[in-house]
Each structure stands twice: as C-alpha cells, then as structure tokens.
Amino acid sequence: MKILVEFDSLEEAAAFILWRDGRNDPAAGKTPIRDAGLLVRTENCCAAEGFDYLEDAQAQSDAFWLKVPNFGRKSLRDLREAKPNA
C-alpha cells in the first residue's frame, strides 16, 4: 500500500522525513538566539528577522545584516564573534 502525502513547503517535508526516520530534531545542537549572550539590540534584530538559532543567523551575509534597520557594525561584530553553545 502506498500513501501520497502533500506538503506546503520543503521544510515541512524535511521535518516529516526526520520524524518518520526517527532522527533528531533538525534544531538539535543549535544555540537559541536568546541563550547566545548577544547584545540586546543584536538579539532583537535577529528575532525580528525571524531567526531562532545563532547558527542560522550567522549563516547570513554581512550585506544582509547591514540592510536590517538598527543593525550596524557593532551588532554585526557581536553576531560574528558569538560562540555557539554546542
């Protein structure tokens, strides 16, 4: 028997496959933004842009971050120097 499942996004499909295969949560081992020890402005900008994990925010380019309102060179340096807890 085959079952066809339709997903709204690639992320949803990936999460289902991880669940089906009994693998860990894709966020396992990532450092939450709130626990990264960032400056308040840096933390708020990351959250406003929809980043929940430090590693995901650090993966963005400098050009991306410098276009974010209230995110300047000091915030960029803070984000780049932050060390993941994992």
Q: Quick count: other Cβ atoms within 10 Å of Cβ 52?
A: 14
Give yes or no for residue 68 having a pLDDT over 80: yes
Count structural domains, the chain.
1
| Domain annotation covers residue 78 | yes
| Domain annotation covers residue 1 | no
- How is 10-40 classified by DSSP, letter by letter? HHHHHHHHHHHTTPPPTTTTPPBGGGS---H
Residue range 1-59, pLDDT digits in tens: 777 778 888 888 877 777 777 665 556 678 999 999 999 999 999 999 999 999 999 99
> Whole domain around residue 50: which residue ranges?
31-86
Give yes or no for residue 82 having a pLDDT over 80: yes
pLDDT recorded at residue 6? 84
Read off the pLDDT band of 84 (50, 70, 90). Answer: confident
| Domain annotation covers residue 17 | no
| Domain annotation covers residue 85 | yes
- Domain with residue 41: its CATH number is 1.10.150
